[in-house]
Amino acid sequence: MTHAHTPAVCSRLPHVGTTIFSVMSALATECQAVNLGQGFPDFDCDPRLLDAVEAALRAGHNQYPPMPGVPALRQALARKTEALYGRRYDPEHEITVTAGATQAIFSAILAVVQPGDEVIVLEPCYDSYVPNIELAGALPVRVPLGADFRPDFDALAAAIGPRTRALLINSPHNPSGRVWQQADMLRLQALLAGTEVILISDEVYEHMVYDGQPHQSAARFADLAARALVVSSFGKTFHVTGWKVGSVLAPAPLMAEFRKVHQFNVFTVNTPMQHALAAYLHDPAPYLQLPDFYAAKRDRFRAGLARTRFGLLPCEGSYFQCVDYSALAVPERDLEPDAFCRWLTRAVGVAAIPLSAFYAQPPAAQRLIRFCFAKQEATLDAALARLARL
């Protein structure tokens, strides 16, 4: 009997396995744990948005849209960005609708990076950044954020060299919940002045900035905007992460290169969802109210965690709360973060994500995990009742 042969593959990503997010979500299901690990809401979106989708479907918007996105949606994005950040992007040449932010970041890297280039990432960072850089044939240069998860500009300046092609930043920051301030953006602008470094600014949590702070988009700063691809997410903003719709804003020369990759990557994005989002954006209230909406969840969750032995880290933005578990009882406090999260899921019934998953080499003594509070009050209260035993 002849045995069929499957050719061997030399992996482009030999060190990549199943992500910790998938692992912890599966473990949460297995253990019937409250899942505060993966970053997605467990509540529905605005029914008006669903009505807009139905209307778009029934209106016949079911074929390919233009490659850069439905014109009405790009126009709505231009109006929104100008109102929020004071910069007008040309909908025709400077705005593209993407299949979520992850695709946007990957396409941005492929568009501007050549094999052998260096791309700076600030650790800890979202887990897709480095594999994207490696798939482009470039070299990731990891620069650690400070102990408080704020940018270390001396370390960043030292990392920029003749082969540096791009820099990836993320604010509000996943996983730490920190937010870049105006002074940080101005210092970054001064640092990059006179270089050929392209900025990729991951701003998917732009509408989750708390305590009266404005979001400091790269679009606010003329010299940053001139070199930046700014990435946003409708899924994060409107509680529809499964729709996988995002956007990129960039000056026309950068956008022209981005679209060359985009058209051969996904080509275009779900048509009825684009029409629905364009109609929904006529009312700014849903995203303008988002900071108060999520701040209330943050405050409720933090108040409950304050009654445990977890140490609370600041949460200025995003929908993530990081905690330090080093004050817990032995032996749990001696567990590495990955092992601690598995123990917490099995023994306590609450799933979290270890911050170690966001590093190549996490700090040896770090005992930090991340919870997602984009959940119904009942979900948060159920998790807090279980965590109260610690």
Predicted TM-score of the model (pTM): 0.96
The answer to whether residues 301 and 336 belong to one domain is yes
The answer to whether residues 266 and 300 belong to one domain is no
Specify if 53 maps to a domain.
no
Query: Distance between CA 309 and CA 323 in Å, rounded?
Result: 10
Specify if 106 maps to a domain.
yes
Specify if 105 maps to a domain.
yes
The answer to whether residues 255 and 106 belong to one domain is yes
Specify if 344 maps to a domain.
yes
pLDDT at position 340 over 70: yes
Q: What phi, psi does 51 have (nearest 5°)?
A: -60, -40
The 10s digit of each residue's pLDDT in 58-74 is 999 999 999 999 999 99
Q: CB-side exposure of 142: number of CA atoms within 13 Å?
A: 15
CATH number for the domain that contains residue 368: 3.90.1150.10
Q: How confident is the model at residue 271 (pLDDT cuts 50, 70, 90)?
A: very high
The answer to whether residues 176 and 298 belong to one domain is no
Cβ distance 383 to 310 under 8 Å?
no
Range of the domain at 336: 20-45+288-387
Domain boundary among 267, 283, 299: 283
Number of domains composing the chain: 2
DSSP summary character for residue 373: -
Specify if 376 maps to a domain.
yes
CATH number for the domain that contains residue 246: 3.40.640.10
Specify if 271 maps to a domain.
yes
For the stretch 60-94, what's the b/e string if a residue is b when 16 or more beta carbons lie within 10 angstroms of its beta carbon? ebeeebeebbbebbbbbbbeebeebbebebebebb
Cis bond leading into 144, ω under 30°?
A: no
The answer to whether residues 24 and 113 belong to one domain is no
The 10s digit of each residue's pLDDT in 293-305 is 999 999 999 999 9
Specify if 8 maps to a domain.
no
Specify if 10 maps to a domain.
no
The answer to whether residues 76 and 190 belong to one domain is yes
The answer to whether residues 302 and 212 belong to one domain is no
- Percent of the chain at pLDDT exceeding 70: 100
pLDDT at position 1 over 70: no
The answer to whether residues 313 and 270 belong to one domain is no
DSSP summary character for residue 346: I
The pLDDT of residue 330 is 81
The pLDDT of residue 2 is 73
The answer to whether residues 235 and 196 belong to one domain is yes
**Tokens 């396995």 belong to residue:** 17
Q: What are the residues facing 246 on neighbouring strands?
A: 98, 233
Q: How confident is the model at residue 20 (pLDDT cuts 50, 70, 90)?
A: confident
Q: What phi, psi does 42 have (nearest 5°)?
A: -110, 25
Sign of CA dihedral 230, 234, 238, 243: negative
Domain boundary among 283, 318, 336: 283
The 10s digit of each residue's pLDDT in 215-243 is 999 999 999 999 999 999 999 999 999 99
The answer to whether residues 241 and 169 belong to one domain is yes
Query: Distance between CA 209 and CA 349 in Å, rounded?
Result: 29
The answer to whether residues 371 and 308 belong to one domain is yes
The pLDDT of residue 18 is 81
One-letter amino acid for residue 153 of the chain? F
For the stretch 163-175, what's the b/e string if a residue is b when 16 or more beta carbons lie within 10 angstroms of its beta carbon? ebbbbbbbbbbbb
The 10s digit of each residue's pLDDT in 79-135 is 999 999 999 999 999 999 999 999 999 999 999 999 999 999 999 999 999 999 999
The answer to whether residues 105 and 195 belong to one domain is yes
Domain boundary among 254, 283, 312: 283
pLDDT at position 325 over 80: yes
